[in-house]
Structure 1
Amino acid sequence: MDTIEAFQRLGVALAVGLLIGIERGWQERTVRAGGRTAGIRTFALIGLLGGLTGYLQPYFGTAFAIAVLLLFGAIFTLFKRREAEEEEDYSVTGVVAAILVFVLGTAAVVADPGVAAAAGVVTAGFLAARDRLHGFLRRLTWVELRSALVLLAMTVVALPLLPDRAIDPWGGLNPRSLWLMTVMIAAISYAGYIAVRVAGPDRGILFAGAAGGLASSTALTVAFANFARSAPESGRQLAAGAIIAGTLSLARVLVLSFLLAPSLSLRLAASLVPALLAMLAVVVWTIWRGTERQKAPELNMNNPFELRVVLQFGALLGAITWISKVLADYAGPALLYVVAAISGTMDIDAITLSTARLASGTLSLDTAATAILIAVVVNLLTKVGLAASGAGASAFTARLAGATLLCIGCGLAGYVLLMPLVPAPAPA
């Protein structure tokens, strides 16, 4: 490498040490001068030492770099031991951080400086989050830990073992795809629970609702309905989260249709944009009312991961997917609306993608738009039904049903009044 590149790489090594040194120094800012093994200056020098070791490695060989690392590690550990005996603090984090700074400094010179810089930022973040992580572990229960382990087993162990092909003569049942959806449902339920625990009821619920809308608003609604059953006093906040998920699911329909058939997305926008605005208005009103009238209650959820409910949901999804596939293949375009309605009971992405592809070919834009909107309406109503089955006649179900009816009404008005005004695409 030339001189300029060498200085740049050494600068990255120094910057990594400086960043972690700032974090370490801030954590120990109340310690008397000279009472700590390493602070901002020492960590910056450690990063530079690692960078110079990497720079000299081509001249002295790999054994030289290993020897320097071992010598540095031994000296630092000796001083850290004396500090630990004096303060009765036996944490090994400082030693690991110092060795990591040295290694990252070396990597910035001999490998990719961008990766070394990113690893340095992640390291500083983990070190700075000490109190929050320890607090989270103190609040972690066995049920929560078990749920995380079961979710990981479903994802890492079971999913790769399933065949990624149809196993029925009609090509409607793909075990891996169905299990992937089941895992996603479980992940959304658990993520919503963790978000509430970490961020608090208001922010956690709204954040989980947004995440659910990007993945599966139906699964999010089922999870929040179960939460509302155990904490009915939080129905207002949970309903706002479910409405946000539904809003983002409508936005996802617009994005998918625009990517595959821009002309179709214009027709859908005439109906979906008013529906989106209506649901957003309900969310804003709900949040405002909650802020003005009462403090958000705490959520007391006993089990964040109901495996039986998740498996039942996956089985129902598999049945609907198989029926939709068979009808689409053997009934022909005359029953497209029926297929759309059936598909909408569980998912609107599949019918959106397939119909958008047809709209770019032989299917008329008006027919394609109507089919997708039917799926959207059925999906919205299905989520209300699922909410009622999970939460019963509660505030959660009432608010979700009201927002859904307002959304459908505004969308219908846009379909009747605005869609005829959308110009037809110019002939190719």
Structure 2
Amino acid sequence: MTENRDALATTPARDVALACVEAGIEAGHPRTVVRDAVSLDGGTLRIRDAAGGEASYDLDGYDEVVVLGGGNAAAHVAAALEAVLGDRIDGGVVVTDDPAGTERVTVREGDHPVPTERGVEGARAVLSAADDAGEGTLVLAAITGGGSALLPAPAGDVSLDDLRAVTDGLLASGADIGDINAVRKHLSALKGGRLARRAAPATVVSLVLSDVVGNDLSVIASGPTAPDGTTFAEALSVLDRYGVDAPASARERLERGAAGELAETPGPDDPAFDRVANHVVADGRTAIDAARDAAAERGYDPLVLSSRVRGEAREAAKTHVAVAEEARATGDPVSPPAVVLSGGETTVTVRGDGEGGPNQEFALSAALELAGGGSEVAVAAVDTDGIDGATDAAGAVVDGATVDDADAARAALADNDAYPYLAARDALIRTGATGTNLNDLRALVVE
């Protein structure tokens, strides 16, 4: 899975760290997730979600079954559903940046993390298919992380370039994903429950792979099939709070909506959701649990620190290293040999013009804290979709020998330029597209 594993696994600790994150990524792949969560019993479709809940749907009660959706893992979800349901699926369309072979569902390619015109065209195809759905249609919606960028669907007078500019400004500001998506939802014709509204009165059953802390359905892929509790006014306040200079068309749309001139995104009481069910079939905890098992199998005592870590990446790294230091010094909160695991979604407030991503900044900050400490502690931090920031690396693996020039490392962090620093030290983890997106995953190995 890790393309450059031989160059990275140079110590036992680094090898174990890589094995843990690889296990987490594999556990989140749709071929694994759908196999475990979805089954066909005669004419009955059964779905078991990540929390253990179950639901069933009588396929004989529908005229057709179609698959719609988008995200990094959407094509793999469609392919896995075809493997389970076969000719019970009548068609559909999904948009992704990681295509997979399908026989009945059309796969359209888009781009992530920066939306492009082909994503817009794919989103139009999804909306058109939703419009064609009738009361006798069962829509299986593949909703996964990355859907916000892959299903852009700019609304009204907002152009794709304007949508990009707003998103770039929000990402650079350090805004969390809930705030970012509150704005995206109000600039889109598909997000914020609008896909469900377009598909009504069809029955919509969403299979959701969550990349959001807490699994807020209205935030995952900007909630195309979930009720939206945010408003145009709140979206405006996000721009103001983070000082984002949005293009005129975007701000004008939000202002018109706040003034009541545009219809709000559908909320929890909207009849569009009368026949909608959303099932989270995998999330960050799915990856962490698999990483925990991988650590235990190798003789390490695993400790799950949290699946909900957020905030500035470089600061979160310092806390994680402090936990590893405490474990080595006192045996608390876990006695070595141990692996400390965490998930969630850290952010970066961009102040420089370098290249990198949250997991690379986490790794470089951790390496600075560990500098000179040898190989007794190794840290691997990845985005499970294989794309950290807008780079071709999933993240990085580091230890006490990674930083050989502390001043240069601090300068790289100050300029948000972790990528070249880590690349020069053979620390970047390259996986390519992983077929999934379950947020960030980190493993700290304490020998």
Larger Rg: 1
Higher helix share: 1
Higher strand share: 2
Whether these two folds match at TM > 0.5 is no
| Larger RCO: 1 or 2 (CA < 8 Å, sep 6+) | 2
TM (normalized to structure 2)?
A: 0.23
